[in-house]
Every structure is written in C-alpha cells, then in structure tokens.
Amino acid sequence: MYLWRIISTNFYEQCTEVVCGVAVETSGHALFWCGGAQKVRLDSFFEELKNVPVLDVFQILLSKVNSSELAHFCMITWAIWNNRNSFSNCGISKAPELVVSWAVELLSEFQKFMAALSPFVRPQLLVPTSADWFAPQPGLLKLNTEVAIRKNSKSIGLGAAIRDDKGKLIIVKSRLMHGSFSCETGKFLALRVGLLLAKFYKISMNITEVDSTSVATILNSSNPFLGDAKFIVNDIKVLFVETRICKCQATPKSGNSLALKLALLC
C-alpha cells in the first residue's frame, strides 16, 4: 500500500527538502537520491537512475531482482521514509546502519508471522536465520561477514550482521567499496567493516564467522601474514582484541547467507 501511494502520487513539494536541504523535494529524491537515503543504500544503481521518474525506477528494479531481494528493497525503502518523517516531525533520526538493521529485523518478524498463519508461504522467501547458522552459547554474540563480487564491476559489496544466541539481529551493515579485489581480500575487508561497526557501537562479541577455511586459518594463526592484504589482516587482529573476539571460525556458505544478502544490497 505504501509503495502504491508513492508511485501513484509522486508528491512534489515547493519547499526545502527536510534532510539534505535541496530546493525542491520529490518522492524520488527523498527515497533514492537524498544524501540521507544514499548513506543507507550505498548503491550506485540509484545514482545512475538520477532524475528518472519513480515509477520507472521500480519497473527497472523489478527486472533485476527476485522476490526475496524485492522484499528487502521495499522494507528498506519504507524504513528510509519513516526515518525521514521522524527527522522532519521530531528532529530525531537513526544512524544509517540502524535504519538497515531495523528494516531487516521488521521484515524477518513479518515473514515469520505470515509463515505461521499460512502453510503455503514458501520457505525460501523467509529471511530468518538459516538452518546452517549455529547460534553462539547463551549470552554471547556472533558476527558474520561476507563479500559480493560482481563480474565486470569495479566495486564490491560488503555485508555484516551481529546476532545473539537466539538469532536476534543486534545490528547489520551494507557497504559499497570501489576497486577491484580478490575474493580473499574482499572477505578480509568485509570482516574489517563488521569489526569497525562493533567497535563504533561498543559491542563486545566472542565469535566471528567467515565462509572460508583459508581466511579463518590466517586470522587464527600467530604467524605474521605476508600476503597482499597483510595490513588489513593486521588491522583485523587489533580489532579482535578491541571487540573481544576469541576466535574466527569457518562456516558453510549457507550459514553465512544473511551477510551475503546484505552485501548484495549494495
């Protein structure tokens, strides 16, 4: 209903945009091109479609994503709009990472509710914890990170998710990073983003997971790493101490699916 109203009305106000202060506010600007929205999405896709009508943006998007990715997009779009209204009406707004985390958690709760009501909801559309994601011990937190590398692209997506022993999302982050990187270096960069996020919000964790045995082995080794990503690895080991990470363990890709979905949002 919310998206239908946005597409149908495409409001146009002769006033200063409430978040970034441009001369005229439109629904497309507020949801996709405003500085506040871009900090949440971190996606060059929308920058390429600047000044395209909102309806056309949605039509182009529908041709590029599956139903699960569309659900994520719609929920984050609503969260951006809600955050914009909160700032406009009350002068209060969430940090970009918290907007994404809140949207993902609300979507997960909604889909769990719908699955409980209807036996016909397909499981693959559900966002909650993967069956291969193992919860940490009671009272502990775990960080999962992943990189999304696109062919013929000069950028990568990085995703990070921190969850508690019940699978509840504490905070998530998606980040777009420009440049060409190997898969291994990308995994190091994604982990560094997750650890910096935890440090910024003063979150102490115990375990971090990556879907690469070689990456986990490098990070658990006491020997100095001499590869191309040695400076990133050194940063990660310092951040391990600061965020109280005891170990980095390898997990199957299926156990890292949420972090990958977050990386693909960029």
The pLDDT tens digits for 151-197 are 777 899 999 999 998 888 888 888 889 999 999 999 999 999 999 99
Helix (H, G, I), strand (E, B) or coil at 2: helix
Statement to judge: residues 96 and 152 lie in one domain: no
Return d(Cα 211, Cα 213) in angstroms, integer: 7
Q: Answer whether residue 63 is part of any domain.
A: yes
Place of tokens 């692209």: 153
Give pLDDT tens digits for 67-102: 677 777 777 777 877 777 787 778 777 777 787 777
- How many structural domains compose the chain? 2
Return the percentage of the chain with pLDDT > 90, whole number. Answer: 28
pLDDT at 150 over 60: yes
Q: Answer whether residue 118 is part of any domain.
A: no
Q: Answer whether residue 133 is part of any domain.
A: no
Strands 169-178, 155-163: pairing is antiparallel
208 strand-pairing partners: 143, 248
What CATH number is attached to the domain comprising 249?
A: 3.30.420.10
Q: Per the structure block, which two tokens stand in for 135?
A: 């919860």
Task: Read off the pLDDT of each residue in 197-210 and give the average, rounded to a whole number.
Answer: 90
Return d(Cα 58, Cα 66) in angstroms, integer: 13
Domain, as residue range, for 54: 2-100
Return d(Cα 53, Cα 82) in angstroms, integer: 21
Return d(Cα 123, Cα 217) in angstroms, integer: 33
Place of tokens 């994604």: 190
40 pLDDT band, cuts 50/70/90, is: low
Strands 207-210, 142-149: pairing is parallel
Statement to judge: residues 52 and 149 lie in one domain: no
pTM assigned to the model: 0.59
Segment (H or E) for 144: strand 142-149
Statement to judge: residues 231 and 159 lie in one domain: yes
28 pLDDT band, cuts 50/70/90, is: low
Among 80, 100, 120, where does a domain finish?
100
Q: Answer whether residue 135 is part of any domain.
A: no
Statement to judge: residues 257 and 151 lie in one domain: yes
Statement to judge: residues 170 and 239 lie in one domain: yes
Segment (H or E) for 149: strand 142-149
Among 75, 100, 125, where does a domain finish?
100
pLDDT at 249 over 90: yes
